[in-house]
Amino acid sequence: MGDHGNGNSLPKVLVRRELAQALFGPMKEQLWSRGGPVVREDRVPYGSERQRELRTPDEVFAEAACEVERIICGHAIAGWRVDDKAQKRMRHDIDDYLFALQREAEVDLSLSQVDDFIDQAILITKGCLEDC
């Protein structure tokens, strides 16, 4: 299912999502500093008897790449590449999402990792995205 270092496959959620695919690798490189094999996500309501859901880092980052793609497309108005206000809104919403990801999926993020990823995501998007 995941890449597992061989580059042969991507998580299913990335199929036919060109921008999310382009964001997936840099997201893993910039944001995953834990080194562990599993990122935990707690989607279970407080007091529930269900166990926490375990997902691989590839699954977490693939879904995150799709969410960043959605955020970017939501702000990719005509002329966004030269519109500082549109890019600031894009940056702000990606930043908010990444810090929510940090809390929800127990992904360790530094401010510089987040800023570097956001810069890289916008650069990738400028070269990759026609219009959403």
pLDDT on residue 38:
38
Instruction: Give every CB contact of residue 11 below 8 A, 6+ residues apart in sequence.
Output: 1, 2, 24, 58, 59, 62
23-62 pLDDT, tens digit per residue, is 999 888 876 654 443 344 445 555 555 445 567 888 889 9
Average pLDDT over residues 111-124: 91
Q: How confident is the model at residue 103 (pLDDT cuts 50, 70, 90)?
A: confident
Mean pLDDT estimate for the chain: 79
Domain boundaries defined on the chain: 12-128
pLDDT on residue 32:
66
Q: Could you write out the DSSP letters of every residue in the chain?
A: ---TTS-S---GGGTT-HHHHHHHHHHHHHH--S--S-EEE--SPTT--SPPEEE-HHHHHHHHHHHHHHHHHHH--TTGGG-HHHHHHHHHHHHHHHHHHHHHHT----HHHHHHHHHHHHHHHHHH-S--
Asked if pLDDT for residue 111 goes beyond 80, the answer is yes
pLDDT on residue 5:
43
Q: How confident is the model at residue 104 (pLDDT cuts 50, 70, 90)?
A: confident
pLDDT on residue 113:
86
Average pLDDT over residues 52-80: 87
Higher pLDDT, 55 or 119: 119
Asked if pLDDT for residue 4 goes beyond 80, the answer is no
